[in-house]
Amino acid sequence: MGQAAGGVSRRALLGATVAGASAAALAGCGTVDWYPSDTTPDEHVLRSLLREKERAVVRYETALADGSGPSDLLERVLENHRTHLDALLDALPEDAEPTPPEEDGPPPVAADEDPELGEAPSPSSLRAMEASAAGMRPEQAAAVTDRGLAQLIGSIGACEAGHAHQLDEA
């Protein structure tokens, strides 16, 4: 699943998303100056989500390497997060920088740069992370200008809620 919405491929949907986001950003030019100058509101949210997903991937990889928790489930969840990461990268504007502008936050995370990421998380802490992430998605979906991007964020949040449920049951 995840390849189409309403008969339209996800990639095509997200292509429209990006075009819509760019148009909306141009239309609102001069009124969104609380965002970094080169970053649209939608890109700002996207960058934030990308950083979260990068951290989630590192945490699950660490948990799997440590052997803590149900490995089959952790593998499936990790794969879902990687799918989210790909979808979010696809949603970035074509002319966007591959890494965030400096004023928009820290660069991509690495375990050796963040001590917390180097420690193997317990299933309960992963469950808490998923529940917290899912709880933020409705407001983030409401915060973007592009409707297709809002759908993507809403869907990611639903998957994260599912992860929290599965980790709770495991």
Partner 1 sequence: MSEAPSGSEEPEAAGDGMSALAEALRAENAAVYAYEFVAGAAGDEGRSEHGLALASEHKVARTELRQAILDREGSPPAVEPTYPLPSGRDGDTLDDFAVGVENTCAHAALWLTAADDTDLRVTGARLLQQATVRALEWGGELDALPGYETR
Residues of the shown chain interacting with partner 1 in the complex, contacts defined by CB under 8 A = 1-10, 13, 16-17, 20, 76, 79-80, 83-84, 87, 134, 137-139, 141-143, 146-148, 150-159, 161-163, 165-166
Smallest distance from the beta carbon of 140 to partner 1, in angstroms?
9
Closer to partner 1 at the Cβ: 61 or 119?
61
Closer to partner 1 at the Cβ: 51 or 165?
165
Closer to partner 1 at the Cβ: 40 or 80?
80
Q: What's at 84, amino acid-wise?
A: H
Smallest distance from the beta carbon of 156 to partner 1, in angstroms?
7
